[in-house]
Amino acid sequence: MRSFTYDALPSRVVFGVGSRDRLAEEVERLGRSRVFLITDSATKPVADELAEALGGRFAAVFSDVQQHVPIEAVAGVRDAARTSGADCIVTVGGGSTTGYGKAIALESDLPTIAVPTTYAGSEMTPIYGITSDGLKRTGRDVRVLPKTVLYDPELTVTLPPSVTAASGMNALAHCVEGLYGKDADPITSLMAEEGVRALIGGVAAAVRDPGDLEARGEALYGAYLAGATLAVVGMALHHRICHVLGGTYGLQHGEVNSVILPHAARFNQGAAPEALARVARAMAVDDAPLGLFDFAVSISAPTSLAELGMRESDLDEAARLSVDTPMWNPRPAGFREVRSILAEAFHGRRPVRVEGGDAVSSPR
Ligand code: NAD
C-alpha cells in the first residue's frame, strides 16, 4: 500500500507570456501599496519597466545584487527597504536576486513577490542561503517563500546561451535529486519527471535559439516544476557539494551544478535505481548519468571543475567541508567518496557505467 505525506506550500503562481504586466494587480491582491524592487545589473531594464508601470506604488530600487547572498550586503538592502517606507518586496532576476529577497523576508514581515528570470527555481522554495565568513549556510523557513511568483518567459529571452545552459542544468539537478530525495512522494516525483522532460527539450532549443519563445516557455515551466519539487523534497549530496564549491570557492552555482550532477547521479544510482530510471525515461536515454553528461556537452554547459578555475589542491578541503555536517543521501558518502566524485568532476570525465561496480569514468 502507498503511504506518503505531501506538504503543499502556500504560493500563488501566475505563468505566461506578459504575466509581468500583472504586477500592480498582484501587489494590490496582497493588500500592499509600496514596492521595493531588488534586481541586478543585467535585469535592471526590466525592473525599470516594472517601476514605471507601478507608478505611485513604486518606492525604491536596489540593483547591485552579488551572487551567493553575502550577509553584509543584505543588511544594507534591508535598511534601504525600511527607509523607503516599502511594505512589499519584488525581486526581478535570477536565484541570486531572489536570495536577497528571502534574506530580507527572514528578518522582516515584508511579503515578497518574485519575478524570476533564470531557471534557478528558488522562487518556489522556503529555502534560503546566506554567505558569511566564506561559508554558505542554508536554512528552511516558510516566511522566506515568495507569496506570489510571476513567470514570464519573455523575460528570459535575454539570457545568453551559457547562462541558459548552466541554469538549465541547475533546474535538472533539482528534478534528479527530487526523485531520490528523502521526502520524495508520488506527487513530487510526477513534477520532477515532467520537469526533466520539459527542461531537456526547452533548454536545448533555447540554447540554439535564445529568442525562441516557445522553448523559453517550456524551459521555464520545467524550472517551475523543478523548484516546486525542491521546495518539498530535501536535497542530497549533489546540492551539498555545489553549495561548498559556490560559497567557499566563488564558483557560479549553475555551472557547478552542471559539472557535479552526472557524477552525483552515478554515485547514487545503485541506491536509487528507480529514481534514475525515471530520469532516463524522461530524457529518452538508456542511462541517466551518461545522459546528463552528454546533455551538458550538447548544450556547451561546463563538465569539469578545472575549466571553472577550481584548483586541484583545493579538492581535499572541498571534500572535507562537504561532509563536515551530517547530510541525508540515498547512499552514505564520507570524505573518500566525495573526494573521488570531485576528482572525476575536476577532470570532466564521462561517468561510464561499469556493470556490477561503482564506477565510473572515462576520459572524454
Ligand atoms: P544569478 O541570479 O546569479 O544569475 C546568473 C547570471 O545571469 C547573472 O550574471 C545575472 O545577471 C544573469 N541574468 C539573470 N537573468 C538574466 C536575464 N533575463 N537576461 C540576461 N542575464 C540574466 O544565478 P542563478 O543561477 O539564477 O541562481 C543561483 C543562485 O540561486 C545561487 O546563489 C543558488 O544558491 C541560489 N538558489 C537557491 C535556491 C533555493 O531554493 N534557495 C534554488 C536554486 C538556486
How does the average pLDDT of the chain come out, rounded? 94
Which protein residue's CA is at the shortest distance from atom 6 of ligand 1? 163
C-alpha cell at 73: 550586503
Which protein residue's CA is at the shortest distance from atom 12 of ligand 1? 42
Whether residue 364 has pLDDT greater than 50: no
The predicted pLDDT at position 325 comes to 84
**3-state DSSP of 238-271:** HHHHHHHHHHHHCCCHHHHHHHHHHHHHHHHHCC
Distance from residue 354's CA to the centre of ligand 1 (Å) = 35
Determine the average pLDDT of the residues in 38-47.
97
| Main-chain phi, psi angles of 335, to 5 degrees | -55, -45
Which protein residue's CA is at the shortest distance from atom 9 of ligand 1? 42
Which protein residue's CA is at the shortest distance from atom 42 of ligand 1? 122
Distances (CA, A) of 190 to 4, 40, 174, 222, 273: 14, 34, 13, 12, 16
C-alpha cell at 120: 534557478
- Which residue is listed with cell 554547459? 301
The predicted pLDDT at position 363 comes to 42
Whether residue 298 has pLDDT greater than 80: yes
pLDDT digit string, tens, across residues 224-256 = 999 999 999 988 999 999 989 998 898 999 999
Distance CA 280, CA 289 (A): 8
Residues flanking ligand 1, CB < 6 Å: 40, 42-43, 67-68, 93-97, 99, 117-118, 120-122, 125, 127-129, 155-156, 158-159, 163, 167, 170, 230, 253-254
The predicted pLDDT at position 202 comes to 98
Distance from residue 261's CA to the centre of ligand 1 (Å) = 18
Which protein residue's CA is at the shortest distance from atom 32 of ligand 1? 68
